[in-house]
């Protein structure tokens, strides 16, 4: 029996047992009585006018209850036809034009998902094809096909995003960061380097694909859905049906992965609309090939010009980057801001002139993606740093040491930065990886080994709002009511630890809700590595609010002045008189209040001017470095990552194990991005939309040894760790590859075939490799695309 | 929707095949058939599922040959101690197929009958001179693996025939074998190029027989017939290994796919053939399989 007592005193950490035993309540397992199943009919045209959608054969198929089309929605009226987080440009179902291959045109609703799938193939769509455009530079060139004839309507909720759209050039937003006089600095600089780098579209590939059950019968709309943004989905559905927010209920249990792809509304609108029309709950669960065309990483191309002194000090940076938004804007209008200050990198640069465009093309919509705009930027500027260092004869680590931001430096946004740790983090990773400025590549037959480093700065979404409720129950256990989404990142156990630490109780006594917007208070979104910083802080404030109520009640019960009562170690006690104390459970019980609620609201202020990029870019700055040792087989071009060392500033660490796991997850993600991952399109048609053809890394692709050092400061904010460890991975690997072979890869991924081509070109041009060769990657004054 | 039939003996299965109309498909482990059905590439009217068929799950090591029942799962072959001691390269190579979840279901007979080009076992079996036994209600025949596989996803199986057994001659004690599985992407990917080498050389290093089968680069394992002749019985030194590699690089006409272009595979083939021969003949690492 002692064992049992022990169990009660130390209940297992939230979610641990459910994860291991397969009981985590994933959204994909939600079932609602009487629900029907929907299968989307998708466009096979990249850009076309819809001439006709013949649903006759599908409707006649046994088991089919309805076929919902865009034309039907137009004819019925009473509901909005478009949705979208910043601009409402995306049709619930296409009714006039289709703008990418895979765009939803109709939803077949049946009693059985396989029947719906069969019948979906019977819907006949007639197109009047239009010229299509897939590349960002082509889309912005004069005479390119135009995707939107009229500027789409805005959602005023996203007030922080100022639109500088130019739809005649297919540009849905532009963001500029301008500081000093970059042109003048460049024209008088000792050296100027210019390069073009590219990143392809990629898939987030969550194990659980998008899934929703919608019930829009009567005067309410309820969705059980796999979203990272419950309150944004709630607003989008309220707009669609012209309902007050409290008539829309969004329920989110655990997600089987998100990685950004499940941010913002996707299939919720069409499921809800179908449910309203059919009069039954409707479930949609995307197949894997559909998942790949629902939300992608932005393809991006950047021309980056950097001017330096002979000593390697960066004096100016100009950049023009185009992020491929795909057919609909999604969150791209905000993403350009992250890309713009992101391209500055973690360096002190007095003269900056960076322009970032989000460009609409006839490809699937790009959305949020782990590392939000920063992966693409770091891939470019961190390789260029190595190119410049080599050209000037400066060690790559030393080059960074001379330029990395220090406390008191002014960032490109005009902010004076404090609490910077870049230099100590650089020392950490170079020591961990065994950095030697004079090291030559190690060769063993066809196998060559070398090391590379990279440094990244990343912001979190600012301004930002989170609210939380903390509830003390009659037995002393505590619940956190939150609309932050658990998607495998361990947000729930981490929040429980945070609140337990504040109260001085066992973390096992703290529960954390799943999301139900009828019950859980507002949170902006679960993205941008913000939950532990923003929702964590809101939960602490809510805990403090609750503690204040405990003190008031305990003071009465203990016949003391409230100012003499403290809550310590799960007890309210009179300060200095340890014997006069009550447990939290006794306070609730004896005062007969049933339970006690505390409320917390955390709001960060900031924002940048979209024309100059000046203002407050981020409530705090993520600082992340990586160092990789790789081995390349020059017979095949295949790169293996042997060792990886990451170092980050993490502020106040709440959950050390969870923090390490998030960094590890970033590394897995980064290995895939660096070496394999690319969505391959042929005239807008995705050609590798399966997990057999699209490669995600397996455990065997992970480095043999890796680790992350977290610089901490318990007096600072909690820094979210969902993303920061990711962006340094690919450029660190690319820089190591160059040192091994003299091959510079400008376009992700670092595929074996690209590397072998480079190795053979290098051999023909007589390059010696090992950081001494020129060839494809040589620097120097001037340009090298 | 497909009708599912579950015979319990080989002869029941053969009868179902014999009176099978067009649209009958055999399914063993299901790792290939299910994917193809899911992808809409296969619409069988009748699925003859072999999972309850008895007596085709075995590894028999005889003095001259090793016999594998067609329904033996890859995972069991990979873990079979007798197989590992008789044919270590084959056992190791089978352990490189996909991942253990797939190997727990996939069978050796299914693997060969599917005739997927991007597969490891066919090249190893071809280099070992393996044969397959095909049975039907009409009788049975034995065919070398190299003749059994005739094109992309294409074999000589008649519609009423079932592959029941794989027969692998046991190499003599002097023989050394190697398999190199090269994956160009993730470790769990199918091979981009696989090279199986078989070298029979005497103590002085003079080669009696040298076979090299290149898998995953062409429709079926690619072999040049006259490798030993090319060497003129001479020793397999580094220069000779390179020369054979170059001969393969000149002769092969690889396909291009997501794992590499034709040109890329040609170059990789040349280097890996040389490396496989070096590993087999020179390194002292003979009789193994390696994942690159």
Q: Are strands B24-27 and B46-49 parallel, antiparallel or unpaired?
A: parallel
Domains A299-461+609-784 and A464-604 share a fold: yes
| pLDDT digit string, tens, across residues A288-309 | 999 999 999 999 999 999 999 9
CATH number of B176-291: 3.30.390.50
Give the number of other CB atoms < 10 A from CB of residue A188.
10
Query: What is the spatial distance between Cα A237 and Cα A784, in angstroms, rounded to a whole number?
Result: 49
Cβ pair A309, A145 in contact under 8 A = no
CB contact under 8 A, A676 and B272: no
Residue B1: predicted pLDDT: 66
Which are the contacts of A564, defined by CB distance < 8 A and separation ≥ 6?
A555, A574, A575
Residue A42: predicted pLDDT: 98
* Mean pLDDT along residues B92-117: 96
Cβ pair A529, A258 in contact under 8 A = no
- What's A61's DSSP letter? S
Angle, alpha carbons A218-A221-A223 (nearest 5°): 135
Q: Are strands A478-481 and A510-512 parallel, antiparallel or unpaired?
A: parallel
CB contact under 8 A, B186 and A696: yes
* Mean pLDDT along residues A488-512: 94
Nearest by Cα to A158 from A642, A524, A598, A548: A524
Residue A11: predicted pLDDT: 58
B209 interfaces chain A, CB cutoff of 8 Å: no
End-to-end CA distance of chain B: 42
A752 interfaces chain B, CB cutoff of 8 Å: yes
Helix axes B262-281, A752-764, angle to 10 degrees: 80
Cβ pair A457, A342 in contact under 8 A = yes
Nearest by Cα to A621 from A724, A534, A731: A724
CB contact under 8 A, A701 and B187: yes
Residue A578: predicted pLDDT: 87
Cβ pair A698, B183 in contact under 8 A = no
Residue A309 to residues A193, A392, A405, Cα–Cα distance (Å): 11, 9, 17
Which are the contacts of A158, defined by CB distance < 8 A and separation ≥ 6?
A85, A86, A333, A334
Using a CB-CB cut-off of 8 Å, the residues of chain B touching A700 are: 186-188
Q: Are strands A596-604 and A607-608 parallel, antiparallel or unpaired?
A: unpaired
pLDDT band of A772, cuts 50, 70, 90: very low
Residue B123: predicted pLDDT: 98
Token pair for A560: 């003391």
pLDDT band of A97, cuts 50, 70, 90: very high
Looking at chain B, the whole-number percentage of residues with pLDDT higher than 90 is: 84
CB contact under 8 A, A698 and B264: no
Using a CB-CB cut-off of 8 Å, the residues of chain B touching A641 are: none
Cβ pair A315, A185 in contact under 8 A = yes
| pLDDT digit string, tens, across residues A690-747 | 998 999 999 999 999 999 999 999 888 899 999 999 999 999 999 999 999 999 999 9
CB contact under 8 A, A636 and B271: yes
Using a CB-CB cut-off of 8 Å, the residues of chain A touching B35 are: 692
Give the number of other CB atoms < 10 A from CB of residue A727.
32
Task: Tell me if residue A492 falls in helix, strand or coil.
Answer: helix
Nearest by Cα to A610 from A229, A356, A782: A356
A698 interfaces chain B, CB cutoff of 8 Å: yes
Cβ pair A308, A189 in contact under 8 A = yes
Does domain A464-604 correspond to CATH entry 3.30.365.10?
yes
Cβ pair B50, B27 in contact under 8 A = yes
Closest residue of B to A675, CA-based? Answer: B185
Cβ pair B279, B79 in contact under 8 A = no
CB contact under 8 A, B267 and A756: yes
Residue B285: predicted pLDDT: 63
Phi, psi of B273 (to 5 degrees): -60, -45
Query: Could you please report the per-residue DSSP string of B245-264?
Result: HHHHHHH-----BTTB-HHH
Which are the contacts of B38, defined by CB distance < 8 A and separation ≥ 6?
none
Measure in Å the smallest separation between the Cα of A426 and chain B Cα atoms. 30
Cβ pair A200, A749 in contact under 8 A = yes
Closest residue of B to A688, CA-based? Answer: B258
| pLDDT digit string, tens, across residues A110-160 | 999 999 999 999 999 999 999 999 999 999 999 999 999 999 999 888 888
Looking at chain A, the whole-number percentage of residues with pLDDT higher than 90 is: 92
Q: Give the helix/strand (H/E) hosting B4.
A: strand B3-5
* Mean pLDDT along residues A603-616: 96
Measure in Å the smallest separation between the Cα of B69 and chain A Cα atoms. 28
pLDDT band of A3, cuts 50, 70, 90: very low
- Point out the least confidently predicted range of A6-15, A207-216, B194-203: A6-15
Looking at domain B59-169, which of 3.40.228.10, 3.40.50.2000, 3.30.465.10, 3.40.50.720 is its CATH number? 3.30.465.10
* Mean pLDDT along residues B164-170: 98
Q: Give the helix/strand (H/E) hosting A432.
A: helix A422-433
Q: What's the mean per-residue pLDDT of chain A?
A: 94
Q: How many CA atoms lie within 13 A of A20 on its CB side?
A: 5
Nearest by Cα to A399 from A458, A311, A318: A311
| Sequence spans of domains, chain A | 31-130+207-257+262-292, 299-461+609-784, 464-604
**Most distant CA pair in chain A: distance in Å?**
89
CB contact under 8 A, A636 and B39: no
Token pair for B175: 């023989």
Which are the contacts of B50, defined by CB distance < 8 A and separation ≥ 6?
B7, B13, B26, B27, B28, B56, B71, B107
CATH number of A31-130+207-257+262-292: 3.90.1170.50
Residue A7: predicted pLDDT: 37
Looking at domain B3-49, which of 3.40.50, 2.60.40, 1.10.3210, 3.30.43 is its CATH number? 3.30.43
B184 interfaces chain A, CB cutoff of 8 Å: yes
B272 interfaces chain A, CB cutoff of 8 Å: yes
Closest partner residue to A698 (CB to CB) among B35, B187, B267 is B187
CB contact under 8 A, B268 and A636: yes
CATH class for the region spanning A299-461+609-784:
alpha beta
Using a CB-CB cut-off of 8 Å, the residues of chain A touching B99 are: 698
CB contact under 8 A, B185 and A752: yes
Give the number of other CB atoms < 10 A from CB of residue A633.
23
**Among A288, A444, A633, A752, which would you mutate to test the B interface (most chain B Cβ atoms within 10 Å of its Cβ)?**
A752
Burial, A44: exposed, middle or buried (Cβ in 10 Å; 0-12, 13-18, 19+)? Answer: middle
CB contact under 8 A, B258 and A675: no
Closest partner residue to A676 (CB to CB) among B186, B260, B261 is B186
Angle, alpha carbons A426-A641-A656 (nearest 5°): 55
Using a CB-CB cut-off of 8 Å, the residues of chain A touching B273 are: none
Using a CB-CB cut-off of 8 Å, the residues of chain B touching A696 are: 186
CB contact under 8 A, B39 and A676: no
Closest residue of A to B182, CA-based? Answer: A636
Residue B204: predicted pLDDT: 82
Measure in Å the smallest separation between the Cα of B31 and chain A Cα atoms. 12
Whole-complex ipTM:
0.95
| pLDDT digit string, tens, across residues B61-79 | 999 999 999 999 999 999 9
CB contact under 8 A, B39 and A690: yes
Cβ pair A457, A489 in contact under 8 A = no
Closest partner residue to B264 (CB to CB) among A698, A699, A756 is A756
| pLDDT digit string, tens, across residues A485-498 | 999 999 999 999 99
A51 interfaces chain B, CB cutoff of 8 Å: no
Angle, alpha carbons A354-A360-A366 (nearest 5°): 85
Residue A774: predicted pLDDT: 35
């Amino acid at each position: 029996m002692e064992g049992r007592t022990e169990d009660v005193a130390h209940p297992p950490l939230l979610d641990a047992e459910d994860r291991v035993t397969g009981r985590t309540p994933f959204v994909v397992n939600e079932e609602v009585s009487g629900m029907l199943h929907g299968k989307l009919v998708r466009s096979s045209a990249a850009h076309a006018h819809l001439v006709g959608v013949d649903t006759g054969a599908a409707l006649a198929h046994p088991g089919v209850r309805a076929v919902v089309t865009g034309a039907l929605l137009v004819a019925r009226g009473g509901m909005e036809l478009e949705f979208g987080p910043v601009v409402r440009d995306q049709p619930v179902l296409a009714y006039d034009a289709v703008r990418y291959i895979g765009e939803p045109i109709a939803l077949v609703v049946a009693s059985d998902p396989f029947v719906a799938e069969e019948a979906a193939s019977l819907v006949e769509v007639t197109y009047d094809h239009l010229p299509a455009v897939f590349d960002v530079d082509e889309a912005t060139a004069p005479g390119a096909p135009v995707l939107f004839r009229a500027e789409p309507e805005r959602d005023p909720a996203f007030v922080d995003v100022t639109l500088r759209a130019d739809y005649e050039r297919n540009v849905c937003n532009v963001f500029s960061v301008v500081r000093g006089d970059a042109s003048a600095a460049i024209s008088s600089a000792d050296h100027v380097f210019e390069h073009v780098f590219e990143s392809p579209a990629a898939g987030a590939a969550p194990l659980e694909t998008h899934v929703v059950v919608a019930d829009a019968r009567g005067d309410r709309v309820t969705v059980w859905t796999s979203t990272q943004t419950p309150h944004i989905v709630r607003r989008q559905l309220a707009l669609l049906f012209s309902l007050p927010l409290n008539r829309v209920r969004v329920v989110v249990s655990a997600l089987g992965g998100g990685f950004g792809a499940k941010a913002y509304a996707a299939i919720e609108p069409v499921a809800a609309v179908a449910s309203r029309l059919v009069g039954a709950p409707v479930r949609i669960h995307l197949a894997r090939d559909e998942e790949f065309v629902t939300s992608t990483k932005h393809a991006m191309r950047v021309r980056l010009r950097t001017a330096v002194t002979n000593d390697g000090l960066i004096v100016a940076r100009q950049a023009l980057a185009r992020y491929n938004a795909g057919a609909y804007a999604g969150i791209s209008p905000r993403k350009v801001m992250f890309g713009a200050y992101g391209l500055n990198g973690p360096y002190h640069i007095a003269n900056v002139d960076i322009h970032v465009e989000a460009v609409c093309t006839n490809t699937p919509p790009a959305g949020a993606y782990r590392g939000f705009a920063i992966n693409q930027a770091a891939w470019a500027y961190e390789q260029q740093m190595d190119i410049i260092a080599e050209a000037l004869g400066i060690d790559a680590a030393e080059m960074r040491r001379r330029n990395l931001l220090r406390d008191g430096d002014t960032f490109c946004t005009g902010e004076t930065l404090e609490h910077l740790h870049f230099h100590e983090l650089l020392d950490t990773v170079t020591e961990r990886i065994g950095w030697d400025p004079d090291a030559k590549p190690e060769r063993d037959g066809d196998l060559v080994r070398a090391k590379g480093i990279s440094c990244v700065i990343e912001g979190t979404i600012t301004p930002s709002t989170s609210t939380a409720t903390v509830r003390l129950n009659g037995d002393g256990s505590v619940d956190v009511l939150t609309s932050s989404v658990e998607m495998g990142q361990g947000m729930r156990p981490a929040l429980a630890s945070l609140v337990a630490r504040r109260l001085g109780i066992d973390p096992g006594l703290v529960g954390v809700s799943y999301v139900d917007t009828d019950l859980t208070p507002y949170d902006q979104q679960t993205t941008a590595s913000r939950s532990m910083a923003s929702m964590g802080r809101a939960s602490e404030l809510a805990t403090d609010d609750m503690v204040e109520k405990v003190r008031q009640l305990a003071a009465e019960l203990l016949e003391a002045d409230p100012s003499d009562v403290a809550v310590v170690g799960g007890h309210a006690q009179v300060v200095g008189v340890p014997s006069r104390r009550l447990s939290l459970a006794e306070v609730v019980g004896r005062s007969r209040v049933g339970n006690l609620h505390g409320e917390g609201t955390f709001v960060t202020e900031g924002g940048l001017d979209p024309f100059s990029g000046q203002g407050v870019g981020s409530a705090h700055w993520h600082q992340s470095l990586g160092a990789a040792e790789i081995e390349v087989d020059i017979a095949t071009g295949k790169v293996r990552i042997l060792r990886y060392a990451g170092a980050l500033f993490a502020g106040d660490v709440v959950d050390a194990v969870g923090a390490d796991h998030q960094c590890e997850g970033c590394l897995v993600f980064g290995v895939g991005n660096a070496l394999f991952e690319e969505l391959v399109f042929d005239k807008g048609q995705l050609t590798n939309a399966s997990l057999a053809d699209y490669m995600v890394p397996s455990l065997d692709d992970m480095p043999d040894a890796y680790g992350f050092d977290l610089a901490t400061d318990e007096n600072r904010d909690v820094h979210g760790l969902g993303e920061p460890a990711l962006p340094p991975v690919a450029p660190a690997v690319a820089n190591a590859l160059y040192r091994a072979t003299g091959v510079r890869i400008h376009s992700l991924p670092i595929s074996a075939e690209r590397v072998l081509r480079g190795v053979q070109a290098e051999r023909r041009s007589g390059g010696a490799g090992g950081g001494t060769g020129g060839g494809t990657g040589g620097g120097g004054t001037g340009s090298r695309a | 929707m497909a009708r599912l039939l579950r015979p319990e003996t080989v002869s029941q299965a053969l009868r179902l095949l014999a009176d099978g109309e067009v649209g009958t498909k055999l399914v063993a482990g299901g790792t290939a058939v299910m994917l193809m059905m899911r992808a809409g590439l296969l619409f069988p009217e009748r699925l003859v599922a072999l999972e309850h068929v008895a007596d085709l799950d075995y590894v028999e090591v005889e003095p001259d040959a090793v016999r594998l029942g067609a329904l033996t799962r890859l995972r069991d072959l990979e873990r079979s101690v007798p197989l590992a001691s008789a044919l270590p390269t084959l056992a190791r190579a089978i352990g490189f197929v996909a991942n253990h979840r797939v190997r727990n279901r996939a069978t050796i007979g299914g693997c060969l009958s599917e005739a997927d080009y991007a597969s490891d076992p066919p090249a190893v079996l071809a280099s070992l001179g393996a044969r397959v036994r095909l049975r039907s209600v009409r009788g049975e025949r034995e065919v070398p693996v190299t003749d059994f596989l005739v094109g992309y996803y294409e074999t000589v199986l008649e519609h009423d025939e079932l592959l029941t057994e794989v027969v692998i001659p046991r190499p003599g004690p002097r023989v050394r074998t190697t398999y190199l599985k090269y994956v160009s992407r993730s470790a769990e990917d199918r091979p981009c190029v696989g090279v199986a080498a078989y070298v029979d050389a005497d103590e002085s290093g003079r080669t009696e027989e040298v076979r090299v089968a290149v898998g995953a680069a062409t429709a079926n394992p690619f072999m040049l017939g006259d490798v030993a002749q090319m060497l003129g019985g001479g020793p397999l030194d580094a220069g000779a290994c390179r020369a054979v590699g170059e001969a393969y690089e000149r002769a092969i006409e690889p396909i291009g796919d997501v794992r590499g272009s034709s040109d890329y595979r040609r170059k990789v083939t040349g280097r890996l053939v040389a490396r496989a021969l070096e590993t087999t003949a020179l390194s002292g690492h003979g009789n193994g399989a390696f994942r690159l």
